[in-house]
Structure 1
Amino acid sequence: MTQIRSDPSVALAPPLRPFRQEDADTVARLNDMASGGILLTVWKRLAGTNGDPWEHGRLQQFEQIESGWNIVVLDQGSGVEAVMMGQPHGAEPASLEGVDAEWVPLMELENLVPEAWCLNVIATLPAYRGLGHGARLMAQAQSMARAGGHSRIALVVSDASTPAIRLYERSGLREMARRPMFKGDWEGPGQDWVLMVKSL
């Protein structure tokens, strides 16, 4: 099984902790919620008629850690309530060759902010919303970005995700650019992906 690593540059104080193997199912569901269902659409495509799309989701969490993502969960003792996922970007833009069409506009936006710390996911289970989990994880993401020497933090969000946009604006992020969504066989909410950025 994948060795779970955590970023040593920023200490995590309870209720925050690093991702563990047993978190994969809940984190996959949170990741899909944050994507507006686009991930489940892709996982269903990968699984085919008889496969389990959620198994693809669970495995993807370990693949993301292997590729350099940081995954921090909020756990007050009874399991994952919320998650934050992010990664530093390199100086060179990511190649779009072979990328599924749904992801192209998101990657085009992320390529506008080389060397930023990219916040890929902040999501809270419905039962725990309104408790400040998103703000706590947003602050953690900014601490990790600063500790890594990044001069800005960036994220991409659906224009339909009004509560998330309000959280990001309260944290100091501002819209920099947007791209139309590619829907394909995905029927998620929104029309545009919005790039939001904050200088640190």
Structure 2
Amino acid sequence: MAPEMAKSDSVTIRPARRPDAPDLARLGDMAGHGLPSFLWRRSAAPGQDPMEIGIARASRDNSGFSWTNATVAEIDGRVAAALVTCPIGDTPEPLDGLGPIVATLQALENRALGSQYVNVLAVYPEFRRRGLGRRLLAEAARLAGPRRLSLIVEDANANARRLYESFGFRVADEAPMAKEDWQTDGTTWILMERPAGA
């Protein structure tokens, strides 16, 4: 059963629906500083917009990056922010056959076994500084139940790191980035965790 909608000051926090997939893809790409669209481009047909790949992936029912694992914040009926979170299992995922970028991220996820993973947390620029990120983190903690929370952030993303630290996340591990042709200011991926009930 879907959780009840929470409203306050015209903000609605609700489970995502399949029609939210375009917003989930755009916000997911923002959260990843363009890394998702960089990777989607590899799957795109000639002339195809990589965002179409992201929307198709967000539209699936059974994957980590899916509308079924997403929560959105709406302001006056518009999607303003999104959270995508799902549990990490108790068995490490294999790294064989993954490219360097994805293998590095998967290896860090494998160090957070048994946690509730925050895959995406992003707010559209025009809706920032309204506490939506913190409200969605609180929703992630609620969804996690007895599990600890985990996430991966770039070392260069100082604003996000401050938010996570203020919410009780602490550095658990890190790994040098493999970038290939992806352009970003960061040099290191940081795995952060928050104990259950913190």
Q: When the two structures are superposed, what TM-score results if normalisation uses the length of structure 1?
A: 0.89
Q: Which runs of 4+ in 1 moved over 6 A?
A: none
Query: Are the equivalent residues in 2 in contact too, given 1:10–1:143 (CA < 8 A)?
Result: no
Q: Which has the higher contact order (CA 8 A, sep 6+)?
A: 1
Quote the residue 2:37 is aligned against.
40
Instruction: Please give the secondary structure, in 2, of the residue aligned with 1:84.
Output: strand
Whole-angstrom CA distance in 1 between matches of 2:2 and 2:46:
43
Residue number in structure 2 paired with 1:55:
52
Listed one character per residue, the Cα deviations across residues 27-78 of structure 1 (whole Å, up to 9, x for unaligned) are 1111001111111111112114311211101011123x41255100001233
Ranges in structure 1 where 5+ consecutive residues have no aligned partner: 1-7
Contact kept in structure 1, 2:3 and 2:15, CA below 8 Å: no
Match of 1:198 in 2: 194
Q: Secondary structure at the match of 1:16?
A: strand
1:44-193 superposed matches below 5 A: 44-63=41-60, 65-67=61-63, 70-146=69-145, 149-150=146-147, 152-193=148-189
Q: Paired residue for 1:13?
A: 6
Q: Normalization by structure 2: what TM-score?
A: 0.90
Query: What is the CA RMSD across the aligned residues, in angstroms?
Result: 1.5
SS in 1 for 2:104: helix
Could you list the per-position Cα deviations for residues 125-163 of structure 1 after superposition, in whole angstroms to 9, with x for gaps in the alignment?
0000100000000110001101xx32x111000111111
Looking at structure 1, the residues matched to 63 and 141 of structure 2 have their Cα atoms a distance apart, in angstroms, of 20
- Give 1:182 deviation, angstroms: 0.7
**Total equivalences in the alignment:** 189
**2: distance between equivalents of 1:34 and 1:179?**
19
- Unaligned runs of 5+ residues in structure 2 are none
SS for the counterpart of 1:118 is strand
Q: Percent identity of the aligned residues?
A: 36
Is the contact made by 2:13 and 2:72 (CA closer than 8 Å) also made in structure 1?
yes
| Cα distance change of structure 1 residues 62 and 22 upon mapping to structure 2, 3 Å threshold | closer
Deviation at 1:112, TM superposition (A): 0.8
